[in-house]
């Protein structure tokens, strides 16, 4: 019995040590988690070229893009991205020292990718990080021009939807700006928007024209986030509350 009592703590100690990660393993897990977040940032259903995917990954702090495969997210197996990320952990109790690592992982971007999908560990290519041209500057949404040109309808009057559409046509909108006009009762709603990346707040402009009521505004940032529905012509006709 005494021998068993002596062996038990030793077994517990041995088992405990077997599940404790080394600081380097913990740092590698941290780098892997950073790569997983890259995959989440790149996740989305809109078609993108390999160049666009690589640029988006390279713009994330602490991420280097070392290799791209494929031509576009919706072609074949999609776009493969090899990224290098950093991770750190501490070892020691009295005077802990930081252990930092840099590791490489492969991320796949395609319509078949799953949200939160784990990256694959790979060897780091010997080539230097890829460089990308800056993202194109998006066109400015014409807030002042739209506000100045939309018709003002007196109380008891009737909105002419065709006049609203002619106003938009006269603005000579940039091809990247999508416009939508919808009538509901005695009001006409207008949406001007730019395609979002599925992750950040979308750029859009809303307007509503009705008897005695012509307004132009930008929805709050939280309403412009993906899935919130703020950038819709329906929100122009029946605005959501400014906060949730």
For 54-65, how does the pLDDT look when each residue is reduced to its tens digit (9 = 90+)? 999 999 999 999
- Identify whether residues 31 and 99 lie together within a single domain: yes
The domain containing residue 179 runs over which residues?
143-237
- Identify whether residues 163 and 205 lie together within a single domain: yes
pTM metric for this prediction: 0.63
Average pLDDT along the chain: 88
pLDDT of residue 19: 61
pLDDT digits (tens, 9 = 90+) for 188-209: 999 999 988 777 789 999 999 9
211 three-class SS: strand
Number of domains in the chain: 2
- Count CB neighbours of 176 within 10 A: 11
Domain assignment present for 55 = yes
- Identify whether residues 93 and 171 lie together within a single domain: no
Instruction: Give the count of alpha carbons within 13 A of 243, CB side only.
Output: 0
First to last CA, the chain: 65
Q: How far apart are CA 238 and CA 243, in angstroms?
A: 15
167 three-class SS: helix
Q: How far apart are CA 168 and CA 137, in angstroms?
A: 22
């Amino acid at each position: 019995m005494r021998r068993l009592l002596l062996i038990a703590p030793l077994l517990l100690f041995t088992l405990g040590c077997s599940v404790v990660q080394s600081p380097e393993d913990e740092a590698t897990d941290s780098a892997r988690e950073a790569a997983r977040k890259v995959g989440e940032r790149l996740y989305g259903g809109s078609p993108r070229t390999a160049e666009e995917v690589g640029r988006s990954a390279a713009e994330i702090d602490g991420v280097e893009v070392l290799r791209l495969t494929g031509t576009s997210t919706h072609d074949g197996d999609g776009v493969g991205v090899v990224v290098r990320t950093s991770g750190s952990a501490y070892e020691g109790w009295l005077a802990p020292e930081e252990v930092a690592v840099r590791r490489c992982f492969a991320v796949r971007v395609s319509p078949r990718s799953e949200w939160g999908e784990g990256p694959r560990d790979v060897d780091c290519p010997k080539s230097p990080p890829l460089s990308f041209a800056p993202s194109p500057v998006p066109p400015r949404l014409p807030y002042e021009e739209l506000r100045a040109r939309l018709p003002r309808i007196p109380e008891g009057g009737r909105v002419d939807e065709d006049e609203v559409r002619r106003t938009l046509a006269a603005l000579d909108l940039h091809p990247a700006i999508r416009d939508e006009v919808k009538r509901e009762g005695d009001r006409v709603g207008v949406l001007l928007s730019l395609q979002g990346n599925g992750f950040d707040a979308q750029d859009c402009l809303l307007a509503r024209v009705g008897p005695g009521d012509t307004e132009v505004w930008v929805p709050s940032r939280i309403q412009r986030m993906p899935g919130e529905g703020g950038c819709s012509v329906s929100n122009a006709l029946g605005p959501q509350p400014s906060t949730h």
